[in-house]
Amino acid sequence: MNEENNHSTGVEKLKKTSAAAAPSLFTLGNLACGFFSILAASHGNFSKAGWLILIAALFDLFDGRVARLLGTESNFGIEMDSLADAISFCTAPALLMYFMVLQRYPFWGAPIACVYACFGVLRLAKFNSMAYAGEGSKKYFSGLPVPAPAAILASFAISYTIMKSNMGGHNLRIMELFILPHLYNLVAIAMIGLAILMVSTVPYAAFKSKRERKISVWLMLLIVVLVVLLVRYPQDVIFIVMSAYVLFGLLAVLYRAFKGIKVEK
């Protein structure tokens, strides 16, 4: 009888250990993608570096959800996730833009990349401190979450590389005609703006709270169009959607200030 109890206890411990390790595997995948993105960028393979950052974002999207699903959320997981994010979404995109664009400016190129990385780490530290103090909101992030600007810079790198090379791949015409050529010369300004938004108090939708909403026909049509375009032009759709997320957050602040509406927690 004791042997059966010991065996069942051992099995339960093994299940708990496996469940606790599952989210960490996603987090390590995130970190590994950030590491190899930096290597790819340093060798001039900017498209590969951008895709690795986007794959890291996918890992980051699932690690927290897996932890909540398995009931294995912990302070260890929060700290590990932030350390991985510091590599994949702060350091990797900063170095990607440095090797791709900013190194042309010897005096202020490296400092701008450094400021972006530092402000991203500050954003992560702020998020953790608010989480430990129980001050976080399930509806909004305080400041721009680091994966969003990282996805913008990564998708820009992929789209611009496609435009400049004849190695296959396609971009939306609007990207090639009106956005990519001009944005290349505005990368430094864009990075400073994104860095400031990361450490700001601008509220950005977290999409964590569960709310039942009726999906309208127009919203369904928009989703279908986005999915179709995502299959054909993934890098451009990611750039446009993430840029819209950043801009709508700013416009929402202006609208609430004009109407005198307070942000719901």
Model confidence pLDDT, tens digit, residues 131-185 = 777 777 778 899 999 999 999 999 999 999 999 886 556 899 889 888 998 999 9
Sign (positive or negative) of CA dihedral 177, 238, 191, 109:
negative
Name the residue with tokens 């009888």: 1
Phi, psi (deg, nearest 5) at residue 252: -65, -35
pLDDT tens-place string over residues 195-231: 999 999 999 988 765 555 666 778 788 888 888 999 9
- CATH of span 2-259: 1.20.120.1760
Distance of CA 8 to the CA centre of its chain: 41
Q: What is the structure's pLDDT at 99? A: 98
15: exposed, middle or buried (C-beta count within 10 Å: 0-12, 13-18, 19+)? exposed
**pLDDT score of 5 more than 70:** no
Judge whether 81 and 131 are in contact, CB under 8 Å.
no
Q: What mean pLDDT comes out for the span 95-101? A: 98
pLDDT number for residue 7? 46
Question: What is the number of alpha carbons within 13 Å of residue 260 lying toward its C-beta?
Answer: 0
Q: How far is residue 263's CA from residue 207's CA, in Å, rounded to a whole number?
A: 15
pLDDT tier at 69 (50, 70, 90 boundaries)?
confident
220 burial type by CB count under 10 A (0-12 exposed, 13-18 middle, 19+ buried): exposed
- What pLDDT, on a 0 to 100 scale, did the predictor assign at position 191? 98
pLDDT at 82: 92
Q: Which of 92, 85, 227 is nearest to 153 (CA)?
A: 92
The DSSP call for residue 215 is P
Q: What is the pTM of this model?
A: 0.88
Give the whole-angstrom CA distance, residue 97 versus residue 239.
Answer: 15
Q: In the chain, where are the structural domains located?
A: 2-259
* pLDDT of the residue at 63: 79
Q: What is the DSSP string of 146-204?
A: THHHHHHHHHHHHHHHHHH--SS----HHIIIIIHHHHHTTHHHHHHHHHHHHTS--EE
> Residue type at 126?
K
- How are beta strands 203-205 and 140-142 bridged, if at all? antiparallel
